[in-house]
């Protein structure tokens, strides 16, 4: 879109404008924005010079105190000296430094005589010259000027609406060299120490003379992808503006594909007159897609504040963006606080009663003597082993009776079993000898008596056999050493028939032994039997 020719004001008018700026700044202090889109930086193009700066607080007051965070202006494109930086940049720099969240947006032409209606053939030649580096010094001086003014973070809208037919910096006559020329400018300005510029690539909405994607110079030299969108063709309705080729939707999609933020440096009314529907829909689109900033062009026929021919659109714009005043708070009526009288509680001291120190009586532990329990001395009765006579076997060749050889007395070991009195053995009938043959007596080795070891007699759980054991004759051992006879087995073996032996006069009597009542219960009743053998030929009995 073409712009009216801009002329610099005189020094006198500049002085008056500075006074208006100082006065206007005090008219409306921006308040906190409560409207939709309050976090999106918003501004308006009000004028290119100091008057544009002076009008910002008035616009803010018209919008109910909404903060205007974007200051937007253009460099005159009539000659290179103005493109390098004019005097009015100081006013914009002062405004920008007034708050940290403000943004200064500056449209920069890529050619002098930018609105001189230069033909395409001459434009192509100028583009190739710029791509060769002939204009690098002009843009380097501009960068140095902005850094020196304290606005090194300026958003530079370089070669705006390049897809149209109006400006000398248009892309259509030579798109490839145009992209190379853009890169030369960005490289020259970024070479200045201290710069923090952001470069905004902002075509016209729609195809216009050339599709704007054919002019995109590359992600490395573009920071923001913007779009100038006025209420004009192509398209009659706002929906047409969204869906048309190179329209609003393609703009959003293209920026997202390249990972860039979007902006709307210029938008406003135009061919369709006072169109509040367009204003409302455009503001809704901005709220939905969250550009880094947007600025409406506010002069006729595009504007809504300074242009009085669009009252309905003006009302729609103001209703949508005006800061809403805070609702009046409900007055808080303080509840009267009635102080409660504090009645002091009398402190009655508790008398301290001393605790008497009573000695703990020592209780002696009684000594209970343990009575000694005498161990009963149980006398072990000496039970003599009965002598078992060895019967003499007569031999037919010996005429005389052999002398009686007494059998050795074999001591029985003490067995812990009750002593059972042996019944009196009956004499074994001996047949009369035939012819006694004298037999030499065999020497009898003395048999030592086994010592009697006293031990308590423990009754055996085995009951005594009712039958008396039969004692068999024990043959004389060939050895001189006596061998203890085995215990008699309580089994009555069959008695083999023996030859009769002569009757031997023998006597045996038994004496009962009294061990006392306690021991008698333990070992039972016992007797001691004594047997006397008087020989074969003795018939004397003293009793």
pLDDT in tens, 220-233: 999 999 999 999 99
Q: Is 90 left (phi over 0), alpha (psi -120 to 50) or beta?
A: alpha
Rounded to an integer, what distance in angstroms lies between the CA atom of residue 523 and that of residue 529? 17
Taking alpha carbons only, the member of 224, 138, 132 closest to residue 178 is 132
Q: Which residue has the tokens 């779009």?
A: 227
| CB-CB contact of 300 with 335 (8 Å) | no
Query: What DSSP string describes 20-81?
Result: HHHHHHTT-------STTTTSEEEEE--SSHHHHHHHHHHHHHTTS----EEEEE---SSHH
**Which range is least confidently modeled, 140-154, 268-282, 439-453?**
439-453
Q: Which of 294-303, 360-369, 399-408, 484-493 has the lowest mean pLDDT?
A: 399-408
Average predicted confidence (pLDDT) for the chain = 75
pLDDT at 380: 54
Predicted confidence (pLDDT) at residue 398 exceeds the cutoff of 80: no
- In angstroms, the CA 132 to CA 154 distance is 26
Provide the pLDDT for residue 404: 42
Angle, alpha carbons 54-20-324 (nearest 5°): 50
Residue 239 three-state SS:
helix
From residue 390, give the alpha-carbon distance in Å to each of 2, 24, 54, 73: 168, 165, 165, 161
Distance CA 415, CA 525 (A): 16
Half-sphere exposure of 252 (CA within 13 A, CB side): 12
How confident is the model at residue 445, as a pLDDT?
41
Q: How much of the chain exceeds pLDDT 70, in percent?
A: 54
What pLDDT, in 10s, does the model give residues 155-185?
A: 999 999 999 999 999 999 999 999 999 999 9
Q: What is the pLDDT of residue 434?
A: 45
List the structure tokens of 295: 């600025």
| Range scoring the smallest mean pLDDT among 13-22, 49-58, 193-202, 301-310 | 13-22
Residue 193 has pLDDT above 90, yes or no: yes
**Dihedral Cα 30, 34, 38, 41, nearest 10 deg:** -10
Q: Is the pLDDT assigned to residue 194 strictly greater than 70?
A: yes
Both tokens assigned to 424: 């009196």
Q: Give the model confidence (pLDDT) of 286-304 as tens digits.
A: 999 999 999 999 999 999 9
Q: What is the pTM of this model?
A: 0.57
User: Which pLDDT band, with edges at 50, 70 and 90, does 481 fall under?
Assistant: very low
**pLDDT for 212:** 98
Q: Which of 19-33, 339-353, 433-447 has the lowest mean pLDDT?
A: 19-33
- Percent of the chain's residues with pLDDT above 90: 51
Q: Would the pLDDT of 379 be above 60? A: no
Angle between the N-to-C axes of helices 276-289 and 311-321, in degrees from 0 to 180, rounded to the nearest 10: 30
Residue 218 has pLDDT above 50, yes or no: yes
- What is the residue extent of each domain of the chain? 11-321, 503-543
- According to the model, what pLDDT value does residue 381 have? 47
Q: Is the pLDDT of residue 189 over 80?
A: yes
Question: Terminal CA-to-CA distance of the chain, rounded, Å?
Answer: 178
At residue 512 the predicted structure's pLDDT band, cuts being 50, 70 and 90, is confident
Position 440 pLDDT exceeds 50: no
pLDDT of residue 522: 73
Q: Does domain 11-321 have CATH number 1.10.3430.10?
A: no
* Mean predicted confidence (pLDDT) in 94-109: 97
């Amino acid at each position: 879109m073409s712009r009216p020719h801009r002329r610099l004001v005189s020094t006198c008018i500049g002085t008056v404008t500075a006074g208006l700026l100082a006065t206007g700044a005090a008219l409306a202090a921006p308040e906190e924005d409560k409207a939709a889109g309050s976090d999106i930086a918003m501004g308006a193009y009000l004028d290119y010079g100091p008057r544009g700066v002076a009008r910002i607080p008035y616009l803010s007051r018209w919008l109910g105190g909404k903060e205007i965070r974007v200051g937007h202006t253009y460099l005159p494109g009539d000659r290179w000296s103005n493109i390098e930086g004019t005097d009015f940049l100081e006013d914009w720099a002062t405004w920008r430094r007034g708050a940290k969240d403000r943004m200064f947006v500056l449209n920069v032409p890529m050619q002098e005589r930018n609105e001189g209606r230069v033909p395409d053939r001459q434009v192509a030649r100028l583009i190739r010259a710029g791509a060769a580096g002939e204009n690098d010094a002009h843009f380097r001086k501009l960068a140095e000027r902005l850094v020196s003014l304290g606005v090194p973070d300026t958003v530079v809208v370089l070669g705006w609406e390049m897809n149209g037919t109006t400006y000398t910096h248009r892309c259509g006559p030579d798109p490839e060299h145009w992209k190379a020329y853009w890169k030369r400018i960005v490289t020259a300005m970024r070479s200045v120490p201290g710069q923090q510029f952001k470069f905004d690539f902002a075509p016209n909405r729609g195809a216009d003379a050339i599709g704007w994607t054919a002019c995109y110079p590359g992600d490395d030299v573009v920071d923001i992808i913007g779009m100038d969108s006025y209420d004009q063709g192509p398209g009659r309705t706002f929906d047409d503006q969204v869906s048309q080729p190179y329209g609003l939707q393609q703009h959003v999609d293209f920026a997202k594909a390249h990972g860039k933020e979007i902006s709307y440096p210029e938008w406003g009314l135009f061919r369709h007159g006072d169109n509040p529907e367009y204003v409302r829909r455009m503001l809704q689109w901005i709220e939905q897609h969250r550009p880094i900033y947007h600025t409406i062009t506010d002069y006729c026929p595009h504007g809504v504040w300074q242009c009085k021919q669009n009252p309905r659109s003006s009302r729609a714009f103001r209703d949508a963006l005006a800061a809403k005043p805070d609702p009046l708070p409900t007055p808080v009526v303080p509840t009267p606080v009635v102080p409660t009288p504090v009645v002091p509680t009398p402190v009655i001291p508790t008398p301290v009663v001393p605790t008497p120190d009573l000695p703990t009586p020592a209780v002696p532990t009684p000594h209970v003597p343990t009575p000694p329990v005498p161990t009963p001395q149980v006398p072990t009765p000496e039970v003599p082993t009965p002598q078992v006579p060895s019967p003499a076997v007569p031999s037919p060749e010996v005429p005389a009776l052999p002398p009686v050889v007494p059998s050795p007395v074999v001591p029985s070991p003490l067995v812990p079993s009750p002593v059972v009195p042996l019944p009196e053995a009956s004499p074994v009938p001996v047949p009369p000898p035939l012819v006694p043959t004298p037999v030499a007596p065999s020497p009898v080795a003395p048999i030592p008596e086994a010592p009697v070891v006293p031990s308590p007699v423990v009754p055996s759980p085995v009951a005594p056999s009712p039958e008396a054991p039969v004692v068999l004759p024990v043959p004389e051992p060939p050895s001189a050493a006596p061998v203890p006879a085995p215990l008699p087995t309580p089994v009555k073996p069959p008695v083999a028939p023996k030859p009769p032996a002569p009757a031997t006069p023998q006597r045996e009597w038994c004496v009962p032994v009294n061990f006392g009542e306690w021991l008698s219960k333990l070992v039972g009743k016992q007797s001691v039997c004594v047997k006397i053998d008087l020989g074969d030929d003795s018939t004397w009995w003293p009793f």
